[in-house]
Amino acid sequence: MTGAGAPAAVTVLRTADRRAVAWKNGGGVTREIAAWPEGAGMDDFAWRVSLAEVAADGPFSVFPGVDRTLTLAEGAGMRLTMAGAMRSVSERYVPERFPGDAPTHCRLLDGPVVNFNVMHRRGLAPADTAVVRGALALASEPGTALLIVPLAGPADLTLPDGGTVHLARHDAALLRAPAGARLHAPTPTAVVHLPTP
């Protein structure tokens, strides 16, 4: 952080501080970016945001009562089979929604991929994901926060007090009071609207 410094409403989450958790099936690893309630496990989160490195074909974990938004961030993509229906995920930076409780099998198209994942409890914590590029004034509805995650390169936040926050690729910033802040994103950057933690 530089300038006048970030207010308490901004939490910066650096990629270097994340722990890689291997999947039980050995097909990849996940690095959690943020979850709410803080410290929630896989069975009791309201929302959870992560980056997943998928190294092999195989089934996705099933999350009853959860909706997912998956955004391809690196690699050629995947072909998903969801409850018997085929779905291609091969265009980078395009959020794809699907139910987390539908049995889903992944087949890699051409080598490993990295996916940006947003999961939220259905009917409890709606979440919306967009991928943007350029300059953007940030705002959110009452009772929500914004999570900013650069997917391809660095981005900068200009804060209402004049301070700035520099985010490297895959760093994140959670803004609980974003009014007056601006995002400067020369490369594709995820902006996720989430319930206020």
Task: Say yes or no: 116 and 40 in one domain.
Answer: yes
Q: Which of 3, 4, 37, 7 is nearest to 173 (CA)?
A: 7
Task: Say yes or no: 96 and 135 in one domain.
Answer: no
The mean pLDDT value of the chain amounts to: 90
| Domain membership flag for residue 137 | yes
Number of domains in the chain: 2
Task: Say yes or no: 28 and 89 in one domain.
Answer: yes
How confident is the model over 5-64, as pLDDT tens digits? Answer: 434 489 999 999 999 998 867 788 999 999 999 888 888 899 999 999 999 999 998 899
d(CA 10, CA 48): 18
CATH code of the domain containing 67: 2.60.120.10
Burial class from Cβ neighbours inside 10 Å (0-12, 13-18, 19+) for residue 169 reads middle
How confident is the model over 121-147, as pLDDT tens digits? Answer: 998 777 999 999 999 999 888 888 999
Task: Say yes or no: 149 and 101 in one domain.
Answer: no
Which of 121, 155, 181 is at the close of a domain? 121
pLDDT band at 94 (very low <50, low <70, confident <90, very high): very high
| Alpha-carbon torsion, ordered 165, 114, 51, 18, to 10 deg | -70
Task: Say yes or no: 147 and 114 in one domain.
Answer: no
| Helix and strand element counts for the chain (H, E) | 0, 17
d(CA 131, CA 150): 9
How confident is the model over 173-183, as pLDDT tens digits? Answer: 999 877 889 99
Residue keyed to tokens 């943007």: 132
Task: Say yes or no: 64 and 130 in one domain.
Answer: no
Three-class SS state of 15: helix
- Residue 68 half-sphere exposure, CB side, CA atoms within 13 Å? 21
Burial class from Cβ neighbours inside 10 Å (0-12, 13-18, 19+) for residue 183 reads buried
d(CA 4, CA 13): 19
Burial class from Cβ neighbours inside 10 Å (0-12, 13-18, 19+) for residue 196 reads middle
| Domain membership flag for residue 143 | yes
Contact between residue 173 and residue 12 where contact means Cβ atoms under 8 Å apart: yes
Task: Say yes or no: 108 and 134 in one domain.
Answer: no
Write out the residue range of the structural domain in which residue 162 sits: 10-14+126-195
